[in-house]
Amino acid sequence: MELKAIGDRFRYRMFRQDGLARVGEIVTPRGVIRTPAFMPVGTVATVKALYPEQVKEAGADIILANTYHLMLRPGAERIQRLGGLHDFMRWNGPILTDSGGFQVMSLSQIRKITEEGAAFQSHIDGSRHLLSPERSIEIQCLLGSDIQMQMDECIELPAERAQVERAMQLSLRWAERSQRAFEAEKVKGRAREGQALFAIVQGGTDATLRKQSARALVGMDFPGYAIGGLAVGEGQEAMLATLEETLPELPEAKPRYLMGVGTPEDLIEAVRRGVDMFDCVMPTRNGRHGLAFTWNGRVNLRNARHAEDLSPLDAESTCPAARDYSRAYLHHLVRAGEYLGSMLLSWSNTAFYQQLMAAMRAAIAEGRFESWAEETKARLARKDG
């Protein structure tokens, strides 16, 4: 695919700050990412139960794909031979790939973490693999993703401080190796100008470790910084406290990405503290389980109270799934386990998350984020379902 000449560099521009919340844009050769941005998750090269056109029309500028899944099936070399991930899955906007490390640790059957990397067996066919920081970068370059992530060690919380520190230090060494590997890929011509490698701040919920991690990574000068290892069971309060300690350490001129988060309320609170990017399976996974996100709170469509409700999820939505189908019909589809139920609710939720980000961007741009956030959180708390 020919890239439009939007610019050959990767750059972040902040338009306005309102409190700590930031509205801006990331410019990549494949398109502009309006921030704060929510990235729908396309785990195995498809945002589950959605056509790529629907993801785009919902307002997503960028999607995330998972290195772990794609390296196992269909394989990174195969995707490269087929012209790269964008053409393969018919998504011509920017794609962010994770390093694969997190899912090696959460999904693979047998794994051994060493200084070198993570040895594991595929959860699909038991085949043996070694994922190192260098191999992760190589895979992400073969996929052709626009934003790549360093490999890190992400441990479950709560954990002993010594263990958190060890994983954080290992992640720092892997950050250096990832950066060197990424530069080497550029020399080899397999990474191009305008692709970016993000570092990942680790350190659990320990403020000292987080600051230490952030400072070391900032010293290495990455084009963007992620906060990893949160939303793994520590609770919203601890997560937000950790953000408050960590974000001030990160440069204003670079985008900040909170990995794997979260609920609409999480997104609002994280944006309030200065986060620019998010990804989460929640809109699609919950959609497949019959749960809809709306401006008036969550709606559990399995609930019998919807059985004869002719109203749609949101009569004012621009998304046909939210606007044109009755709750009674959605209830029926969910109860019957029909594809169309998952399709409609994943679509509606994906659109809702994008509308939420658009509303946040507008509120920040107009300097009314705080009042918007309070009002919206009150509406979202209605739990109308």
**Residues at the site binding a second copy, with contacts judged by CB under 8 A:** 44-46, 48-51, 73-74, 78, 81-83, 88-90, 307-308, 310, 324-326, 328-329, 331-333, 335-336, 338-340, 342-343
What are the φ/ψ torsions at residue 45 (nearest 5 degrees)?
A: 75, 30
Least distance from a second copy to the Cβ atom of residue 283, Å: 14
Q: Are 178 and 185 in contact (CB under 8 A)?
A: no
Least distance from a second copy to the Cβ atom of residue 333, Å: 6
Selection from 282, 295, 218 nearest residue 250 by Cα: 218
Tell me whether residue 314 is one of the annotated catalytic residues: no
Q: Are 222 and 177 in contact (CB under 8 A)?
A: no
Choice between 79 and 299, CB closer to a second copy: 79
Choice between 83 and 367, CB closer to a second copy: 83
Selection from 351, 231, 233 nearest residue 292 by Cα: 351
Least distance from a second copy to the Cβ atom of residue 323, Å: 12
Q: Are 58 and 319 in contact (CB under 8 A)?
A: yes
Tell me whether residue 279 is one of the annotated catalytic residues: yes
Alpha helices, DSSP H, located in 188-274 = 207-219, 236-246, 264-272
Least distance from a second copy to the Cβ atom of residue 146, Å: 19
- Rounded Cα gap, residues 5 and 7, in angstroms: 5
Q: Are 149 and 96 in contact (CB under 8 A)?
A: yes
Catalytic option among 18, 266, 276, 279: 279
- Rounded Cα gap, residues 308 and 376, in angstroms: 28
Catalytic option among 98, 146, 206, 314: 98
Residues designated catalytic: 98, 279
